């Protein structure tokens, strides 16, 4: 079960929605929530700082680096103060933490296997340096040893959940995770989606696995075709009905991912509702 909830705060709309989910889950589950801000050291690296120094009229990047670090540090503290105020107003048990480093690495290192990390899909830096910084949310999801929830830009109370289930170990873990959260979250409907190439005896095996993993009511839908495409279509077609997609994280081998791509990455990028990834 969840011990702590860690929320990545960077000042973006997406991260403030993530904080809303952190506070919401903290109160529902009666667990502490920690607001975490990481000052990305890549923003202090030479090429980026040289460009910024030139734009601001500094003669050398050495002149601006200490000032930039101080500004980023102060900004982080202000964001965390704002988060703490939100927690107090909501009556949530919270604390705050700040560090310098690579965002995904530092956030993952702060978490224990029993924790839950919540991050926004789109960070504050995406507008001006998306290629330089990459996808922090996906990096966190891939590196984390604990479950990760990736929020979108709108908070929705979690009542109806989609569970993507393929029968492999990580999807079984996802099913068990939702089973444990079901009553505390007050989930009203759980719909399991399994995508197969075609109708087969495997449907019976999937049902047996679900019955052994879930002790709560669920509806099982079999879809046929490519997992990425069928899952995306179901999620998008039902985005106004459901508030969360849960699935096992990165069940494919790294070699298969390189050749065929990752269903996890595909759903992270395509889903219009939050995604909960369980290892």
Q: Domains in the chain, start-ordered, CATH in brackets?
A: 5-151 (3.40.50.620), 160-278 (3.40.50.620)
pLDDT of res. 40: 87
Burial of 186 (0-12, 13-18, 19+ CB in 10 A): exposed
pLDDT of res. 50: 54
pLDDT of res. 114: 98
pLDDT tens readout for residues 56-79 = 555 444 555 677 788 889 999 999
User: Is residue 92 predicted with pLDDT exceeding 50?
Assistant: yes
Decide if 118 contacts 151 (C-beta within 8 A).
yes
Of the candidates 195, 214, 184, the one whose C-alpha atom is nearest the C-alpha of residue 116 is 184
* CA-to-CA dists, residue 85 to 19, 151, 163, 241, 245, angstroms: 12, 21, 34, 32, 29
With tokens 């269903």, the residue in question is 263
Average pLDDT (138-163) is 96
How many degrees, rounded to 5, is the angle at CA 74 between CA 68 and CA 76?
A: 100
pLDDT of res. 253: 53
User: Is residue 47 predicted with pLDDT exceeding 60?
Assistant: no
Q: How far apart are CA 272 and CA 176, in angstroms?
A: 24
Question: In the 8-state DSSP scheme, what is residue 241?
Answer: T
* CA-to-CA dists, residue 169 to 15, 46, 59, 166, angstroms: 30, 44, 56, 9
Q: How far apart are CA 33 and CA 22, in angstroms?
A: 6
Higher pLDDT residue, 19 or 251? 19
Determine the length of the chain: 279
Average pLDDT (199-219) is 97
The band of 131, judged by pLDDT with boundaries at 50, 70 and 90, is very low
With tokens 């459901």, the residue in question is 242
* CA-to-CA dists, residue 205 to 168, 176, 221, 233, angstroms: 11, 17, 14, 24
The band of 49, judged by pLDDT with boundaries at 50, 70 and 90, is low
Q: How many CB atoms lie within 10 A of CB 169?
A: 10
Containing 256, the helix (H) or strand (E) segment is helix 254-260
Q: How far apart are CA 107 and CA 9, in angstroms?
A: 10
User: Is residue 257 predicted with pLDDT exceeding 80?
Assistant: no
Q: How far apart are CA 124 and CA 136, in angstroms?
A: 11
Q: State percent of the chain over pLDDT 90.
A: 76
pLDDT of res. 133: 38
pLDDT of res. 71: 84
Q: What is the C-alpha radius of gyration for the chain, rounded to an integer number of angstroms? A: 20
pLDDT of res. 3: 98
User: Is residue 260 predicted with pLDDT exceeding 90?
Assistant: no
Average pLDDT (244-273) is 77
pLDDT of res. 130: 43
Decide if 113 contacts 50 (C-beta within 8 A).
no
pLDDT of res. 48: 55
């Amino acid at each position: 079960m969840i011990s702590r909830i860690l929320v990545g705060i960077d000042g973006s709309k997406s991260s403030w929605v993530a904080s809303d989910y952190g506070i919401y889950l903290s109160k529902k589950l009666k667990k502490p929530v920690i607001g975490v801000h990481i000052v990305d050291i890549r923003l202090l690296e030479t090429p980026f700082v040289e460009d910024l120094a030139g734009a601001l009229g500094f003669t050398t990047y050495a002149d601006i680096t200490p000032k930039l670090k101080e500004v980023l540090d102060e900004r982080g503290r202000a964001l965390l103060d704002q988060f703490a105020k939100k927690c107090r107003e909501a009556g949530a048990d919270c604390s705050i933490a700040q560090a310098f480093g690579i965002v995904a690495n530092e956030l993952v290192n702060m978490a224990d296997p029993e924790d839950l990390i919540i991050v926004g899909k789109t960070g504050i830096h995406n507008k001006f340096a998306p290629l330089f910084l990459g996808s922090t949310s996906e990096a966190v999801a891939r590196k984390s040893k604990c479950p990760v929830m990736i929020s979108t830009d709108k908070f929705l109370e979690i009542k109806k959940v989609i569970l993507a289930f393929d029968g492999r170990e990580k999807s079984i873990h996802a099913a068990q995770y939702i089973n444990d959260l079901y009553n505390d979250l007050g989930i009203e409907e759980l719909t399991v989606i399994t995508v197969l190439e075609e109708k087969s005896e495997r449907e019976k095996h999937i049902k047996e696995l679900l019955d052994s993993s879930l002790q709560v009511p669920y509806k099982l839908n079999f879809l046929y075709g490519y997992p990425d495409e069928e899952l995306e279509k179901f999620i998008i077609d039902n985005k106004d009905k459901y508030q969360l997609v849960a699935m096992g994280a990165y069940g494919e081998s790294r070699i298969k991912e390189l050749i065929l791509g990752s269903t996890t990455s595909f759903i992270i990028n395509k889903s219009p509702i939050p995604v909960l990834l369980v290892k």
